Amino acid sequence: MTFRSSRRHFLQKVATGSAVFGLGDFSFVRRLPRLAAAEAKLKVVRFHSDIEPLVRFLEDTSRERLLEEVALRIRRGLSYQQLLAALFLAGVRNIQPKPVGFKFHSVLVVNSAHLASISSPESDRWLPVFWALDYFKSAQAEDERQGDWTMSATDDARVPSPAKSRQALIQAMDNWDEPGADVAAIGFARSAGAQELFEVFCRYGARDFREIGHKAIYVANAWRTLQTIGWHHAEPVLRSLAYGLLDRGGDANPANGDLPADRPWRRNEGLSKTIRAEWQDGQPSKSATTEVLESLRSCSPEEASDKVVALLNRRIAPQSIWDGLFAGAGELLMRRPGLVSLHALTTTNAIHFAFQYSGNDETRRMLLLQNAAFLTLFRGDADKLKKISIDQFSPESKAVPELADVFAEISHDRTAAARQALLYLTETQQPQEFINAARRLIFLKGNNSHDYKFSSAVLEDYHHISPGWRERFLASSVFNLRGSGDKDNDLVKRTRAALS
């Protein structure tokens, strides 16, 4: 299926009309006790009056009818921003952020779908959002089967004053105090600006390695989505975020112990102070990037952080260190393709985003050190990794392949496809053609949230890496991209039916 039609043509083809509900005999209800209106009100968090009805619509419409009904509303004037806001908030209210993963990917993926939308041709831009809508409904059903968690209404009597909310939040987060963090997040959201909020939360997103990086991912995606939908929606989002960041699995309270997931942060707090004051004015160095890459292959979290400090104190530019971290994440995917390794890339994307947008020098140092330490934890047992190096692998042929051949090969032999992709990217210097094709195949073939999360991260990060490394990084992405020979996803079939 191709998507060459304009947005108007796309929407005109969507089925019109609405479902007709028959009214049956409800006399049996009279045999039940009368339910007072106050008792019938659900004690759940409510959103602004301009978005609450749309959120309710997404919550209450069946999965089978949602795409068609949304298309009708778009035709009647529903904007992209309104739909994105309602989708994000519906997930925040209905999906428990503990753990920050699994079904909660329906929230995490909203920003990834948005990035895919704004980076796509106009004819394709609604498709990622439609996919995210459908995915929300599946996650909502899963949450209902697991107990039907819903964010509760706020307890305004316990919310600290504006002057005390920031410190109350920090204290609660440091003590892993969920009730305290919840009310403090409310007060902080009501009294602070976007940048101040981000500065606090981005530190806690990188504080511990529980849930393989999803905490940092949630911080970045929440902030980016709020930038699009408006910060007047921040309060419920930050409540959800605080709750998710305090997830500790089955561990005892980390504030009272010394657990492996928390050790990198605690050590790096002292280590960061040994970095020279003018650490951001270093010189680029390709050999330093190789040093970072080599250390990530076998060193401990402590050794990885030490390497970063040593390079910064040698006046190496932070960009050259980031090049090594991105390359190390890409190499890990090549050496052990799969769910854990792809999160090395999405986590690096999230932490690098926080590094870019933080205005706090200490926070930026900590994020760089934490990313290095985390990548060694993603590695696991080095003896079980494939023997392939991102800085050494090379094409087997000198004949530059057609782009279509690269994506066809992905469906058969990813290692061969990576070699072809590297040759194509270095010889043609047409990365955007590769990126566009990769994104289009996610629309057509992607069947899970990681397809969107991963592709949006790596296709964005290509532009954050220095020339000479970025081509190899993008070539490594084929180990988790979709090939042209893969099966079309079910949503494509459903969309075809809706548009017929």
- List the chain domain ranges: 45-248, 281-384, 403-490
List the one residue out of 253, 142, 241 whose CA is nearest residue 201.
Answer: 241
Q: Is 373 helix (H, G, I), strand (E, B) or coil?
A: helix
pLDDT band at 134 (very low <50, low <70, confident <90, very high): very high
Give yes or no for residue 9 having a pLDDT over 50: no
Mean pLDDT of 143-160: 93
The whole-number pLDDT of residue 498 equals 58
List the one residue out of 474, 469, 471, 476 whose CA is nearest residue 286.
Answer: 469
Mean pLDDT of 259-288: 97
Task: Output phi, psi for 72, to 5 deg.
Answer: -60, -40
Give yes or no for residue 42 having a pLDDT over 70: no
Give yes or no for residue 22 having a pLDDT over 90: no
Inter-CA distances, 140 with 66, 154, 331, Å: 13, 22, 35
Higher pLDDT, 234 or 154: 234
The whole-number pLDDT of residue 67 equals 92
The whole-number pLDDT of residue 27 equals 34
Helices 80-94 & 105-118, crossing angle to 10 degrees? 170
Give yes or no for residue 474 having a pLDDT over 60: yes
Q: Average pLDDT of the chain?
A: 89
Under 8 Å between Cβ of 154 and 45: yes
Q: How many CB atoms lie within 10 A of CB 452?
A: 27
Under 8 Å between Cβ of 450 and 460: no
pLDDT band at 309 (very low <50, low <70, confident <90, very high): very high
The whole-number pLDDT of residue 383 equals 80
The whole-number pLDDT of residue 95 equals 96
Under 8 Å between Cβ of 114 and 225: yes
Give yes or no for residue 4 having a pLDDT over 60: no
Q: Is 44 helix (H, G, I), strand (E, B) or coil?
A: strand
Under 8 Å between Cβ of 240 and 151: yes
Of 39-53, 212-226, 259-273, 370-384, minimum mean pLDDT range: 39-53
Mean pLDDT of 220-238: 97
Give the tens place of pLDDT for each residue, 408-425.
999 999 999 999 999 999
Q: What is the residue whose two structure tokens read 């806690």?
A: 204
Task: Output phi, psi for 400, to 5 deg.
Answer: -65, 125
Q: Is 274 helix (H, G, I), strand (E, B) or coil?
A: helix
The whole-number pLDDT of residue 43 equals 62
Give yes or no for residue 16 having a pLDDT over 70: no
What's CA 182's distance to the chain center, in Å?
A: 22
Beta-bridged to residue 316, according to DSSP, are 283
Distance CA 111, CA 452 (A): 9
The whole-number pLDDT of residue 496 equals 60
The whole-number pLDDT of residue 244 equals 97
The whole-number pLDDT of residue 292 equals 98
Give yes or no for residue 307 having a pLDDT over 50: yes
What sign for the dihedral angle of Cα 246, 247, 248, 253?
positive
pLDDT band at 495 (very low <50, low <70, confident <90, very high): low
The whole-number pLDDT of residue 2 equals 37
Give the tens place of pLDDT for each residue, 349-398.
999 999 999 999 999 999 999 999 999 999 988 788 999 999 999 998 88
The whole-number pLDDT of residue 23 equals 25
Counting residues of the chain whose pLDDT is more than 70, the rounded percentage is 90
Higher pLDDT, 15 or 232: 232
The whole-number pLDDT of residue 497 equals 62
Give yes or no for residue 149 having a pLDDT over 50: yes
List the one residue out of 183, 156, 155 whose CA is nearest residue 168.
Answer: 183
Rg of the chain over all Cα atoms, to the nearest angstrom = 24
Query: What letter would DSSP give residue 448?
Result: S
